[in-house]
Amino acid sequence: MLGQLQQYFLQNRQLYLPGIGLLRLEQAAAELDFGNKQIVAPRQSIRLHAGAQQPERRLFSWLAAVLLITERDAVIRFNDFVYSLKERIQKGEKLDWPGVGVFSKGLAGEIRFETAVADQPMGGPVSAQKVMRESNAHMVRVGEEERTAAEMKEWLQAEPEQKSWWFTIGIILAILLFIFIGYYFSVHGVSPRSAGNQQLLKPAQAAPVYQTPR
């Protein structure tokens, strides 16, 4: 039955053995290796977790279908097999499960497990070179509208050019005004009078308010 249980374990990534513990195939996420510019493949390990729980019901249905027996007989055969394994371990025998690990008895009477799969990579590293796609168009949300990356690039480039055009016009007008002021003072001279109104004012004759009696 050891072969059938190994097949079930590899398919479901976990298997509970009553009185021994929960075997679990754990997987670590892929990692990015900045120094070598590559992505390291995920790694997997088999670990034994202590604790009491019930075997999954689908295990017995699966065993019954594989061994061509009833589900009740599958439960009996499974429990007898695991009990036999536990007895052998408790007597000091090392139980080697090929491809899974070695079960043995610890100094305090606990069941120890030495995994046969520890941080095993699931493939080779993959190159992580950055791909530059300048012409690749993708949608960008701007407020309530969606624009392509190319449209946003044109819009952002057009606005500075428009601001630069108005700034140039302002500088030209300022220079013309400065030239006009310089010309005006060169003709009329630099004095308070030259900056004021050049028209002569004649005071009006005031009408008499009374007459001397004759």
Tens of pLDDT, residues 139-162 = 655 555 666 666 666 666 655 555
Same domain for 57 and 162? Answer: no
Sites in the chain below the pLDDT cut of 70:
29-38, 40-41, 119-165, 185, 188-214
Same domain for 10 and 102? Answer: yes
Same domain for 50 and 90? Answer: yes
pTM of the model: 0.53
Q: Is 27 within a domain?
A: yes
Same domain for 60 and 163? Answer: no
Same domain for 15 and 60? Answer: yes
pLDDT value, residue 18: 92
Same domain for 100 and 164? Answer: no
**Residue 166 belongs to what domain range?**
145-190
Q: Is 133 within a domain?
A: no
- Count of domains forming the chain: 2
- The span from the CA of 127 to the CA of 32, in Å, is 10
Q: Is 19 within a domain?
A: yes
Contact 116, 44 (CB under 8 A): no
Non-local (6+) Cβ contacts of 32 within 8 A are: 39, 40, 128
Contact 142, 150 (CB under 8 A): no
Same domain for 163 and 65? Answer: no
Same domain for 155 and 80? Answer: no
